[in-house]
Structure 1
Amino acid sequence: MNIKLGVSTWLWTSPFTTESVNLFPKIKSMGYEAVEIPIEYPELIDGKQVRDALLSEGLVPISCGAFGPTRDLTHDDPSVHDVCFDYLRRCFELSNVIGATFVAGPMYSAVGKVRMLPPDGRKRDWERAVVNLGKVCQMASDHGMAIALEPLNRFESDMVNTAEDVVRLANDINHPAARVMLDSFHMSLEERNPEAAIVHAGEKLIHMQVSENYRGVPGTGQTPWQLIRRGLERINYNGVVSIESFTPEVKELAGAVCIWKHLAPSQDGFASDGYKFLSQLFEVQNS
């Protein structure tokens, strides 16, 4: 197992813009080798400048998508699908420039879309996701990339909540670009055993996000970290483990993820303490 540690710029700011590269030297100085770049608005990001800043600091980029009501591949209106296809195309193009190898996120539906659907409604949405994500996979493949599908907890999605759900979705898509990411926060709500969930994802797992069960600093809550480590060891995971949490200072983002207060004395302290814990957990050697 060879793990690199990363952190999302959402810990400090939103949306990510070209100017957000000012965070990179600080992230590198803390010991991180990778940075998650949330692509909320591709038009705000100059890919070449971001690539140069990444290279300057020696950071590996991870591209993450953002999927609100206007980017919903299971919407009843096909024109909304077209908006999402166009957005993802721009994500792939930007990711190519900055050097990312996949785009991650819950791109099967809009975040926060939770309904009590009858079985035929669920079947319809699932089949719609499979068809549309098949198109996205072909788009990703055309750019030499993959997608990493993320399960969300039941309060954020009524479609894909567990590793079993997301592996079934990837299998139904049946395209080599259809891969998986897991997030320990969502797992803490949905999985009976995080080790078994990681093992079930197996070779499809290409990205891992972490935070505490309350979205706080890793190592300060109830997350069963040894089970997560053991699961990653069992599949010989050789990717990035990245902290994803958020700042309450950006009101729109904080409202979307229901973070109403600071989860650490400072966001820099959050990142620094999180790195220390994870580097010990995974025995990461700072290069």
Structure 2
Amino acid sequence: MSTNPLGVHALVFAGGTTPDDMSVIIDQTRDAGYDILELSLHDATSLDVADARTKLEAAGLGIVCSRGLAFAADVSSDDPEVVARGAKLLQDSLQITYDLGGTHFTGALYSALGKYGHQLSSAGRANVVATLKDLAVEAQAKGMTLGLEICNRYETNVINTAADALRLADDIGHDNVVIHLDTYHMNIEEDDLVRPVHLVGDRLGYVHIGENHRGYLGSGHLDFTAFFHALADIDYTGPITFESFSSAVVSPTLSNDLAIWRNLWNDGPALARHALAFMSAQIEAGHGA
């Protein structure tokens, strides 16, 4: 049996976060056999937090929240007003995660989610560090962990590799800031799927499993055998969450940010069941069981 809590992204099941959407998402996450639901907070204005928490608890599910920022609310900006708006979004999102019963808030917490037309400035990086230092203190007071999700060059100019993320985490300087690896992004930016895992080691706190095209696991070219063996090498026992997107399920905001232009699958529940079996088998094989 897996020692890792296994999760699935809400966009496998529904695009919104209204009470009706959350009922569908939570029921299907539970029915597929997962331990955790990951919810992006891009559509948080539609979310009834108290209702969602009640439904999560009734289903016996853990919750992880994630988000990136917007260019008008970007903590990597040189503009203090833009940085302040980004910091407020992060604080609000941390509070929502806490109110949902979550202990992990992760994602591109350090920048907008989109293609930048310029390099990150030294002032912008300093703004990231200062903002996330403050957020880490707030999170610590709530008993919460922040994840730095490493995203590819088309989605951020702040951190693209595990080495980048470790340097940023060192500069933030708080133990409750962990590294979040994602195989989809690693496929674009890293030399392979093994060395970054070994490099991060015990600072790895969250993992996204996604194919190179973010469709069915095993239908692309990623070497998941090597990746899961690397996780076993470092005795990683944290959450592992399946992330997949298709134009069959569209978020009012996030789908465009992530360039979800084509239909990689139609049946979210079937996809989710397949992914759970795939990840469970990989974990078992990785441990030589």
TM over 0.5: yes
Per the alignment, residue 96 of structure 1 pairs with 98
Q: 1:150-229, aligned counterparts within 5 Å?
A: 150-229=149-228
Counterpart AA for 1:137: A
Structure 1: distance between partners of 2:193 and 2:130: 29
Length-normalised TM-score, structure 2: 0.90
Using the TM superposition, give the Cα deviation of residue 261 of structure 1 relative to its aligned residue in structure 2, in angstroms.
1.6
Per the alignment, residue 282 of structure 1 pairs with 283
Structure 2: distance between partners of 1:266 and 1:196: 34
Per the alignment, residue 65 of structure 1 pairs with 67
Conserved? CA contact 1:8–1:35, under 8 Å: yes
Secondary structure (helix, strand or coil) at the match of 1:97 reads: helix
List runs of 5+ in structure 2 lacking aligned partners: none
Q: 1:1-287, aligned counterparts within 5 Å?
A: 2-22=3-23, 23-117=25-119, 122-248=121-247, 249-250=249-250, 252-283=253-284
Secondary structure (helix, strand or coil) at the match of 1:6 reads: strand
Conserved? CA contact 2:150–2:162, under 8 Å: yes
Counterpart AA for 1:267: G
What is the RMSD computed on CA atoms of the aligned residues? 1.9
Using the TM superposition, give the Cα deviation of residue 61 of structure 1 relative to its aligned residue in structure 2, in angstroms.
0.7
Using the TM superposition, give the Cα deviation of residue 252 of structure 1 relative to its aligned residue in structure 2, in angstroms.
4.5
Using the TM superposition, give the Cα deviation of residue 222 of structure 1 relative to its aligned residue in structure 2, in angstroms.
0.7
Counterpart AA for 1:273: H
Using the TM superposition, give the Cα deviation of residue 21 of structure 1 relative to its aligned residue in structure 2, in angstroms.
2.3
Conserved? CA contact 1:95–1:103, under 8 Å: yes
Using the TM superposition, give the Cα deviation of residue 126 of structure 1 relative to its aligned residue in structure 2, in angstroms.
2.0
Counterpart AA for 2:111: S
Structure 1: distance between partners of 2:66 and 2:156: 17
Structure 1: distance between partners of 2:140 and 2:197: 25
Secondary structure (helix, strand or coil) at the match of 2:179 reads: strand
Using the TM superposition, give the Cα deviation of residue 163 of structure 1 relative to its aligned residue in structure 2, in angstroms.
0.7
**Cα deviation code 1:72-92 (max 9, x no counterpart):** 101122112222222222222
Conserved? CA contact 2:43–2:253, under 8 Å: no
Secondary structure (helix, strand or coil) at the match of 2:194 reads: helix
Structure 1: distance between partners of 2:64 and 2:70: 20
Structure 1: distance between partners of 2:269 and 2:191: 32
Conserved? CA contact 1:15–1:40, under 8 Å: no
Conserved? CA contact 1:72–1:108, under 8 Å: yes
Structure 2: distance between partners of 1:148 and 1:280: 26
Conserved? CA contact 1:63–1:102, under 8 Å: yes
Length-normalised TM-score, structure 1: 0.91
Structure 2: distance between partners of 1:253 and 1:28: 23
Counterpart AA for 1:109: S
Q: How many residues align?
A: 281
List runs of 5+ in structure 1 lacking aligned partners: none
Secondary structure (helix, strand or coil) at the match of 2:52 reads: helix
